[in-house]
Chains A and B, each alone.
Chain A
Amino acid sequence: MEEEKRKSLSGENNEKTSGNPRRDFLKKFGLLGAAAATGGAAIYTGYRYEHSKGKHETVKVLTDDNRLVEIPADQVKDVTSDLKVLQTRGREGIKSRRWVMVIDLSKCRNARQCVNACQSAHQLRPYEYHINTLIMKEDQGTPPYFMPKPCQHCDNPPCVSVCPVDATFKRQDGIVLIDNERCIGCRFCIAACPYSARIFHWEKPKNAEANKDMTYDVELNVPQKKGTITKCLFSADRLREGELPYCVSACPNGVFYFGDENEDAVTNGTTKETVRLSTLLEDNGAYRLMPELGTDPRVYYLPPRNRLFDFPEDQQPGEHKDFIL
């Protein structure tokens, strides 16, 4: 047996050693198969190379100002930072900042531009919200109003306390982020959040195929991942570039102010006017959502008084409203 093996390995006298015709056949067949596979692979590689070289194949690319453009495939060069860099800076946050949002309810007329801008930036479906505008009515006898509701980025966030794996965390600049490379999908944070600010990817997210090879940016939470949580990020990616959040700059009615608590200054996303935060809050009797829970939100609301428009009759406030696109 050993002998036979040695001989056949060295290739000498093949006819003689392998007396078994079936084994002989199998051996030849195997050789032929291997040769065919190698040849085929070589031809295919060559074909692919020629193919990609010859024609200018184009690919669709999402630019950093969020436009989808088409460019030649051979022009594409990977310039995104690697995951490790993005994750480290994403968890640290931006130094010496304390981001704060002010929402003026007297100006909101439910244009839902904030919702649309947000959903397109974070690649969400029309019923998946980081920010939602709710039709509110606190009580019988009190007037109805529209209320944009992003994540409140609480300073005492219940969602962060309950997360078992540190997937959701509070940064030094006040933002609460979610790392979907870490999230195990237990949804304890959904249960813990009193503001219903968090949503879950129950199915394959929108653009899952297109974003397959994209590097994950925790500050944009794109690509979104199936089986993980997603939520408002205060547009941490925009803030890093010195821009206002997507929702803030998309609003046509001047509802949103955004800025840095340390500088005591907030900028209106529509008028681009910068005002003193403390004065704005004081003059307008600002409040925060459910302060009795002790969550200490970073989003302030200015009450819906002196509205310059009527509340539309067809949009009656209620507990449960059906799907409105």
Chain B
Amino acid sequence: MNNTGQKYIARKEIIDSVSSDILRPVRQNRSFILWMGFLGIALIACLYAYTIQLREGLIVTGLRDFVSWGMYIANFVFFVATSLIGMLISAVLGLIGYSWIKPIARIAEIIAVAFAAVAGLVIISDMGRPDRFPYLFMYGRIHSPILWDVTVVTTYLVLSLLLYLLPLLPDLAIAKSRLKNVPGWLIKVYEILSFKWVHSNEQYKILFRSIRILLILIIPTAFAIHTVTSWLFAVTHRSGWNSTIFGPYFLTGAFVSGTAAVIIAMFFYRNNFKLKSYITADHFDKMAKLLVLVSVVYFYFNINEFLVPGYKLEKFDAIHLEALFSGHHALLFWSTQLLGLVIPMILLLFRKMRKPLPAAIISVFVIAGAWMKRYIIVIPTQEHPFLPIQHVPGEWFVYKPTLTETAITLASVILVLMIITILSKTFPVVSIWEVAEEKEKVVAKESSNQGYDNNGEKSINN
């Protein structure tokens, strides 16, 4: 426990050294402009595809009356899933009191904000009448899970944004006088967003209290967003969706893809932002262990989801499982399950595989598998309705995404990358004040072997 008289800010020398490292990548250099330009052009090309869809209707997609939810919905589920990691890292691990998460908590929040923000747009791209989006608020019926989804996703986005911004306040105050090579307007932005932060103990107390409240609030919200998203499927009668474990099945799957996303982002920041001494090999080791844990839990739910109906083989469950195990979707199903879940899970059990590079490569497989898994959950079920599909054009039986549809889906991925890029090139990706504080503790411990009160690490929520 900290006594109330203690100052919450580390010594100036430590802050100076930490901030000079962490603030170095905060500038609009040539590679940033080139990368954003590339993303921008790609985005415009993909948005052109969306204008085609607006003009012609959803006929430009591979969707038809039987498979009427496709890549857009799969992508939406994936985005909501990946955004959940913000809650797991900051709230669950943070409230437990693990201090190793401090340098990477902001990375997790960036991912949460970016994916949650774009998830809403993805849903709009799937709508037949996007112009009627306001009807959800004008005529919303509380009976529909879609309304629950809209409510909780919005709430989660707001909470995640606050959890990103509040811990940033002291950093902005620290950084505004130390930033070099940045345009004047950015200093102004820092000035305004730091809300007159002067590092007073009073301010820190309020900050800790509000963050703690947010961390507690965000846990049920995050559970709600993915549980409700799973209910979009589970409330129907269809084989493959009609499952009582869909809520936890989706939730655990979400942690898998989110953890993988954070590991990839950590790897990128560590190397490109030269933050090797802040995002350490130890962080990769710990995150990879976390990935193993969530993968094992997800694997357990997978066994439940497929083994139980597979044992009974009721008529329509049998048709569905046949399509997955040995039929039309078999290749996709097995490669997703093996390359995206089982093999990564086993590999990461070995210490060598939890080093930064192998962990990042494995995470790429995991995240690709996570996307394909959403595809497998959404599409095959619809290809086998209870009544036969007859007297319709042959190409309606099986869903095949079109190029237009793929481009529109890519647009959402590009948007996520843009948000992540802008946030991480405009603001420090690692929390300066928290890292400095941790450092000071270490220094204090070294300088006086006794005397420092060390009965518990000071975490963000004290």
- Chain B 125-160, CB-CB to A under 8 Å as 1, else 0, gives 011110011011011110111110010000000000
Q: Does A304 contact B (CB under 8 A)?
A: no
CB distance from A132 to the nearest CB of B (A): 6
CB distance from A180 to the nearest CB of B (A): 9
A202 x B63 contact (CB < 8 A): yes
B139 x A165 contact (CB < 8 A): yes
CB distance from B95 to the nearest CB of A (A): 34
Q: Does A265 contact B (CB under 8 A)?
A: no
Q: Looking across the interface, which residue of chain A has its beta carbon closest to that of B386?
A: A194
* Cα(A152)–Cα(B254), bound, Å: 37
A184 x B391 contact (CB < 8 A): no
Residues in A whose Cβ lies below 8 Å from that of B386: 194-196, 290
B385 x A196 contact (CB < 8 A): yes
Residues in A whose Cβ lies below 8 Å from that of B390: 132, 134-135, 320-321, 324
Known: A129-B391, A184-B132. A166 touches B57 (CB 8 A): no
B388 x A182 contact (CB < 8 A): no
Residues in B whose Cβ lies below 8 Å from that of A322: 393-394
Residues in B whose Cβ lies below 8 Å from that of A204: 56-57
Q: Does B389 contact A (CB under 8 A)?
A: yes
Residues in B whose Cβ lies below 8 Å from that of A226: 57, 128
Interface size on B, residues (CB 8 A): 49
Interface of A is mostly: loop
B393 x A200 contact (CB < 8 A): no
Summed over the interface, the residue pairs from A and B with CB atoms below 8 Å come to a total of: 151
Instruction: Tell me the chain A residues, 141-188 only, with Cβ under 8 Å from chain B.
Output: 149, 158, 161-166, 182-188
Instruction: Tell me the chain A residues, 56-86 only, with Cβ under 8 Å from chain B.
Output: none
A194 x B389 contact (CB < 8 A): no
Q: Does A293 contact B (CB under 8 A)?
A: yes
Q: How large is the interface on A (under 10, 10 to 19, 20 to 34, 35 or more residues)?
A: 35 or more
Q: Identify 23 residue pairs between A and B in the complex whose beta-carbon atoms are under 8 Å apart, listed by A's number.
A: A127-B392, A127-B393, A134-B387, A135-B388, A165-B139, A182-B135, A184-B127, A185-B127, A185-B129, A191-B68, A191-B236, A195-B387, A196-B386, A203-B56, A203-B59, A227-B57, A227-B58, A228-B129, A319-B384, A320-B390, A320-B397, A321-B389, A321-B391
A194 x B238 contact (CB < 8 A): yes
A184 x B133 contact (CB < 8 A): yes
A188 x B388 contact (CB < 8 A): no
Instruction: Tell me the chain B residues, 112-135 only, with Cβ under 8 Å from chain A.
Output: 126-129, 132-133, 135
CB distance from A27 to the nearest CB of B (A): 40
CB distance from A142 to the nearest CB of B (A): 13
A184 x B136 contact (CB < 8 A): yes
Instruction: Tell me the chain A residues, 294-319 only, with Cβ under 8 Å from chain B.
Output: 317-319
Known: A149-B387, A191-B238, A323-B393. A164 touches B147 (CB 8 A): yes
Q: Does A199 contact B (CB under 8 A)?
A: yes
* Cα(A184)–Cα(B58), bound, Å: 13
